[in-house]
Structure 1
């Protein structure tokens, strides 16, 4: 297995893991989701992540309502000295791409983009929720730093709800002032949105294949991914 490129390594101060489901008998999962170490995952070819999404059929026509929504979010972030990554904007505004992760999710995850949410662990940094489990078991965020560094994290904490509850004076189990608690609750999982989207798309399609006895018709990139967990002859 090849070494992770430096850009794929988690930033200092963040624990790293991948939150995913089982892959049938090829990868076990004790509950709905499991936290898998990055070292245990099949490596991805970082050269394919150019923001064009060729692995998903390429970019389609823009969706006007999504363009308006993302422009509004970009304006709100710009006022804080932050910018959205281009691969994220492309995905969320393209007719061919938007909703692709919702469609393939085996656990009912759905796209739900939030306003900028202050990071509870780092002054000047912000979170933008973009994807969540239907029962809020796990929520994925863009993590935006003033240095222009952006990566994907996940947590079981709904930070939009936590900040709204604090604003409204409601009691919650989340202490937003406890940075140590949130360092443990926010896990790094991908160096870019496109890499997150690719791994999520591949794994969820594989779930359908291994649980639907559809392995003989796997596309080469999906078969290569599954071969990481089993000898090549095991797929026949």
Structure 2
């Protein structure tokens, strides 16, 4: 069964933080497809709203049997290693309506791609599960699952699923990697829970589309507030 324990509310000291995303027009420029923005510079979100109900997406509908079976297999493999999937992740990725929410809203062609358990290269006994990747593999987003029960989202330019397969690692080892401390610069904390990550990703991609279309009328009050956080003086929101 997925873990029901509370997820970490703040980044662990052992991880650097950043948010990897594209621009928000003139409000938040981006020179290339993606930029790393300091996490503390982001508009704050109320973590209390992330109960696993995904109310901001209208809530779940019904499980997709194929995805539920795949996630059950993944949960069993992780349980054998002493870690567990968070319930919000299972609720979203198993649901017939919610499962493609990030794919549908992404303006950079990101798509859902759930990996097998990957030993964390920075924490013994912890595991990564990739769940989202950029279409050109510029960035990959992972759950980071610790034996202590900590669950949070990290991102990296490294495809650890591909790297681990190439290295033919076993017993939690990464044969061809340098010292784990060297990997800490490539794995960056970006959200305290899967649902909070998903909501911020969803908001920002909706904002990008609205700004490109030049029509902000359909945005929610929360989305307008998010944009105002970045508004240069004199810029209409």
TM-score by shorter chain over 0.5? yes
Shift of 1:23: 0.4
What TM-score do you get using the length of structure 2 for normalisation? Answer: 0.91
Give how far 1:118 is off.
0.5
C-alpha distance in structure 2 between counterparts of 1:8 and 1:26, whole Å: 27
Q: CA deviation at 1:146?
A: 0.4
Distance 1:210 1:120 in 2: 39
Residue equivalent to 1:181: 182
Which aligned runs of 4 or more in structure 1 are off by greater than 6 angstroms? Answer: none
Structure 2: how far apart are the matches of 1:202 and 1:94? 20
CA deviation after TM superposition for structure 1 residue 232, in Å: 9.3
Question: Any stretches of 5+ residues in structure 1 without a counterpart?
Answer: 1-5, 169-173
Per the alignment, residue 45 of structure 1 pairs with 46
Instruction: State the Cα RMSD in Å.
Output: 1.8
**Mean alpha-carbon deviation: is it higher for 178-187 or for 196-205?**
178-187
Shift of 1:124: 0.3
Matched, 1:96 2:97: yes
Report 1:1-236 matches (<5 A). 7-167=8-168, 175-230=176-231, 234-235=235-236
CA distance in 2, matches of 1:231, 1:163: 44
Q: Is the 8 A contact 1:143 1:151 kept in 2?
A: yes
Aligned partners of 1:111, 1:235: CA distance in 2, in Å?
34
Higher helix share: 1
Aligned length: 226
Instruction: Report if aligned partners of 1:120, 1:177 keep a CA contact under 8 Å in 2.
Output: no
Q: Are the counterparts in 2 of residues 216 and 235 from structure 1 also a CA contact under 8 Å?
A: no
The answer to whether the Cα contact below 8 Å between 1:16 and 1:38 also exists between their aligned partners in 2 is: yes
Contact 2:8 2:150 in 1 (8 A): no
Instruction: List runs of 5+ in structure 2 lacking aligned partners.
Output: 1-6, 170-174
The aligned residue for residue 3 of structure 1 is: none
Return the alpha-carbon distance in structure 2 between the equivalents of residues 20 and 7 of structure 1. 22
Mapped to 2, the partners of 1:105 and 1:53 lie a distance apart of: 18
1:34-90 Cα shifts (integer Å, max 9, x gaps): 101111110001111000000111111111001000000000001001110000000
Q: How far apart, in 1, do the equivalents of 2:96 and 2:233 lie?
A: 36
